[in-house]
Amino acid sequence: MSFPILTVITFTPLLGALIVFFIPKDKEDWIRWVSTIVSLVPLVLSFMVYAAVRANPGQMQFMEEYSWIPALDVYYRMGVDGISAVMVLLTALLSTLSYFYSAYTIKDRVKEYYFLFLLLQMGMSGVFVSLDLIFFYVFWEIGLVPMYLLIGVWGGANRIYASIKFFLYTLAGSAAMLLAIIGVYLYTGTFSILEAAAAHPFADNFVLAAAAFWAFFIAFAIKVPSFPFHTWLPDAHTEAPTCGSVILAGVLLKLGAYGLIRIVLPFFPGVFSYYSYNVPIIPILAVISIVYGALVCMAQWDLKRLIAYSSVSHMGYVTLGISAAAASLAMSGHSEGLMTSAVIGLNGAALQMFTHGIITGGLFFLVGIIYERAHTRDLKSFGGLGAKVPYYYGIMMVTGFASLGLPGLAGFWSEFFVFRGTFAIIPVFACIGIAGVVFTAAYILWKIVQYVFLGEFDQAKWDEATHHAKLTDMELFEKVTMWPLVLVMVLVGFYPTVVVALLNGASIALLGKL
Amino acid sequence: MQTFILLLPQLILFLAALVVFGLDLVGRDEKKWLPYVALAGTIVALVVAVYLVVAVELPAGPVLGGTVALDSFALFFQIVATLVAALVIISSLGYMQERTPYRAEFYGLLLIACLAITLVAAAADLIMVYVAFELLSITSYVLTGYLREDLKSNEAAIKYFLYGAMASAAMLYGMSLLYGATASTDLSAIASALLGADASLRWLIFPAIVLLMVGFGFKIAAVPFHQWSPDAYEGAPTPVTAFLSVGPKAAGFAVLVRVVLTALPDFRADWVALLSAISMMTMTLGNLVALSQRNIKRMLAYSSIAHAGYILIGLVSWDLWQSESVFNGINGVLIYLLAYLFTNLGAFAVVIAFEQATGSNQIEDYAGLMQRSPVLAGTMLIFLFSLTGIPGTGGFIGKLFVFGAAIQIQFYALAVVAIVNSVIAAFYYLNVLRYMFFQPAVEGASAFKVPPALTVTLAVTCGLTLIIGLYAQPFLQLAQSSVRLLGI
């Protein structure tokens, strides 16, 4: 038996959580650094997985399969292809950075904080590597619990409302998904994601297939979140502690999108294409998310809430790319060019998952950094910070430009791919969605860059708004947190192939099987 | 001899009860060790019951003149009953010590109640059903009113008794109708008499079913026969509440399953319609009313009403032709009961510990429990998530099996109502978590320790809640093998 690398990636955080559990409460520095160091193990291993999967990204690799609950045909099944490998890496990277950043910023109930955060990391990695529906569901829900507590204990003023809203929304979705999982099992006789996908559950019964499709889709759309299921997100993101928002935006939202790619599209290609092309509900929801999300951003005065809404908009691109790939299946004349466009659309969606994770993760760190100093996120109380905190200004500019899709930075490629794929398949929605790009540029430049950094710095206004807070530039630990993210943004911006090669192989394999 | 061995758990319980009652009469000293005699009795009975499940060949027909069916289904409930009794006795030690000088009878009565549950689960004859049921009810009434200085405890017992007497009368009336229609009280004989009975009998049998459901519904606290339970739960000594929320409920389900499956298989359409409606009402009303509760015992009362609704889904989804399939409904009932038993007893152990330390049962007083007692807050978190049905806990496995059965038999409406309900339920469970974890403790609230006996209960219940959730296989096997009832 070879080295169970995925098991180690998934469960090392659990081991870390157990270690933290046994460290006395008052040894806070021990807790902080043990967690950070433990999290290096999955980080290094996921780099190795990433490198190994490159050779053949369309193939499920590092497969592990053990019987778990024989009475229920539930297996412990793990495996990664190109898309999951990228997501596993994203999870490990953002988690390690979060532990590192929290080591300096979390002062309250440190032990519980790290214990929960490590559990959360286990849940998230587990979702990306599971190939068994029940196993997937277990990780999906287990991640919910620590996030709920992280928001509720360490969150902002309105944290209690936000935490319960987050929990109930996700639970409602996943409860429906559970019924669909059982239905799929009863139809196909297996909980294996790959085997069930090959069997195309309910392919002979459109009504049941559509019911199961919507149950899965709504569960994932709540997590993505797609309009109209997005309302939990601004609250949860705004109230969560900095690293909670980073992980929420960076990884948790991707769980939903990943579910669409890994489960909904392969299981129900017929229904998905029907609702993407014949009755295009899903692309409509996607473009509403894109445009409406961006417009709402322009109306925000709370910097964190603004970035939260930008996630709604940016995750809309993901849904749009996936639905374009699905729509291609419904079109007559299954030509090669169409297939290429579908693959490009799906690549764009998956790449957007990765780049949005990196960029928005970075943006939430940056919001946290300014909030630590000013204790306010009100855009009206800033202005002219560019001259005062040049380093922060620079990093924010890079991240913000990456977010609005400036060529040369990571965000450009994912949006480009999504629109390239969508335009060839469902051009109407590409044309509407492109408006989102314009609004994104508007709110980044106008709201963030102009209101925060440009103009004259008004000391009196700052003092009044922040109660005489000291304005200093980024500390070393803050820079160290941001460096890897900026590096990835630039690297992917100049050489997208480093990620796209993995995604492309996986997308071709995935669409080829439909 | 064979019969004698099979009845050993019951005999041990009975003997232990006699010893406890008898020794209490001898001498005037306090005899602090008497509860341990009762505990030893339940543990020996538990070990014997497990041994019977594993190693003894069960008889092919009912014993004791056809009144007691010692099948694996009955043995499953013997295990459940003895486990419940053992855990409740451990949890009662400190609590009863503080509240009343008369304690020996308490443990004796618990043993009798436990014995009654094992008999109810094995009853193969309507007379036996009734007698065992009454034995359970009467001991439960006395246990509920055990704190005779406490007005709430008295009120609870009276309410429980009045409702119980009504329900018993209705049930007895139903039994007499069944007897009138079939000239037999034996469950299998009733089934064969009804087999191919002409349609005109239906007007007699349907009322009989309804009346029987009154009695059974009372025991499992299903809507609309649930009104006694919030008051009884709130007023009863908390260990008794813990017992009521699992013991009689399990007994009610045992007898309900056995009666409808053995005696009334031909009237499946009738009882399925009736029980489906009851199930939906029970889930919905239990959860909606639980939302507004401020006393944790009342909240758990309504929550346990709701859980009865979920468990009923398993029963109505039973299909004889699919008895070997993964989701056959009855295995869902059993695995759900098992997971619910540990979870609910654990939650009540937390309530007992909190009440012993602070004297309060108000949910808002749980504020800041994480700082005051991390053990209680941590274990309560697991119990509440198990009640919610989050994976990794036993509650999830139970829900998976009952929902699975409902989908398999295509009762989609039932499954959807249940799903909506489990989301509603999350709200009030999370409300308790909110106080424990998110709210600071009130001024002057100090940290406290959990008494050792309760720590044992917490460790056992929490451990088993997690084990069922993470490694369900042995429990599923037990449930699956216990689906075999005599006479169907």
Q: Mind listing the pLDDT tens digit for each residue in A230-272?
A: 888 888 888 888 888 899 888 999 999 999 999 999 999 889 9
| Mean pLDDT, range A276-286, rounded to an integer | 91
Nearest CB among A71, A171, A178 relative to B480 is that of A71
Cβ–Cβ contact B427 with A under 8 A = yes
Nearest CB among A71, A142, A148 relative to B476 is that of A71
Distance CA A395, CA A379 (A): 18
Mean pLDDT score of chain A, rounded to an integer? 88
- Name chain B contacts of A72, Cβ cutoff 8 Å: 326, 400, 472, 476
Cβ–Cβ contact A338 with B under 8 A = no
- Name chain B contacts of A69, Cβ cutoff 8 Å: 471-473, 476
**Which of B433, B468, B478 should be substituted to probe chain A, the one whose Cβ sees the most A Cβ atoms within 10 Å?**
B433
Q: Under an 8 A CB cutoff, do A182 and B404 touch?
A: yes
Distance CA A427, CA A432 (A): 9
Q: Under an 8 A CB cutoff, do A145 and B370 touch?
A: no
Cβ–Cβ contact A179 with B under 8 A = yes
What per-residue confidence (pLDDT) applies to B110?
93
What per-residue confidence (pLDDT) applies to B321?
64
| Beta-carbon contacts below 8 Å between A and B | 87
Distance CA A75, CA B4 (A): 43
| Mean pLDDT, range A50-58, rounded to an integer | 87
| Mean pLDDT, range B450-475, rounded to an integer | 91
Q: How confident is the model at residue A315 (pLDDT cuts 50, 70, 90)?
A: very high
* pLDDT for residue B467 is more than 90: yes
Contact in structure between A320 and A287 (CB atoms under 8 Å): yes
| Mean pLDDT, range A190-199, rounded to an integer | 88
Q: How far is B329 from chain A (nearest CA, A)?
A: 14
Q: How far is A425 from chain B (nearest CA, A)?
A: 36
Nearest CB among B326, B391, B407 relative to A141 is that of B391
Q: What is the crossing angle of helices B330-358 and B394-408, to 10°?
A: 150
Find all residues with CB under 8 Å of A512, minimum gap 6, and list them.
Answer: none
* pLDDT for residue A1 is more than 70: no
Q: Under an 8 A CB cutoff, do A142 and B476 touch?
A: no
Q: Under an 8 A CB cutoff, do B390 and A73 touch?
A: no
**Which of A178, A181, A202 should be substituted to probe chain B, the one whose Cβ sees the most B Cβ atoms within 10 Å?**
A178
Mean pLDDT score of chain B, rounded to an integer? 89
Q: Under an 8 A CB cutoff, do A167 and B426 touch?
A: yes
Q: Mind listing the pLDDT tens digit for each residue in B298-342?
A: 999 999 999 999 999 999 988 766 666 778 888 899 999 999 999
Cβ–Cβ contact A267 with B under 8 A = no
Q: How confident is the model at residue B202 (pLDDT cuts 50, 70, 90)?
A: confident
- Name chain B contacts of A144, Cβ cutoff 8 Å: 390
* pLDDT for residue A98 is more than 80: yes
What per-residue confidence (pLDDT) applies to A261?
92
Give the chain A residue nearest B388 (alpha carbons). A171
Cβ–Cβ contact B413 with A under 8 A = no
Q: Mind listing the pLDDT tens digit for each residue in A410-462?
A: 889 999 999 998 988 888 998 998 888 889 988 888 888 888 888 888 888 88
- Name chain B contacts of A71, Cβ cutoff 8 Å: 326, 472-473, 476-477, 480
| Mean pLDDT, range A187-202, rounded to an integer | 88
Q: How confident is the model at residue B488 (pLDDT cuts 50, 70, 90)?
A: low
Q: Under an 8 A CB cutoff, do B416 and A179 touch?
A: yes
Nearest CB among B385, B390, B477 relative to A71 is that of B477
Q: How confident is the model at residue A60 (pLDDT cuts 50, 70, 90)?
A: confident
| pTM value > 0.90 | yes
Q: Mind listing the pLDDT tens digit for each residue in A454-491?
A: 888 888 888 888 887 888 888 888 888 899 999 999 99
Instruction: Point out the least confidently predicted range of A328-332, A341-345, B339-343, B348-352.
Output: A328-332
Nearest CB among B407, B427, B438 relative to A179 is that of B407
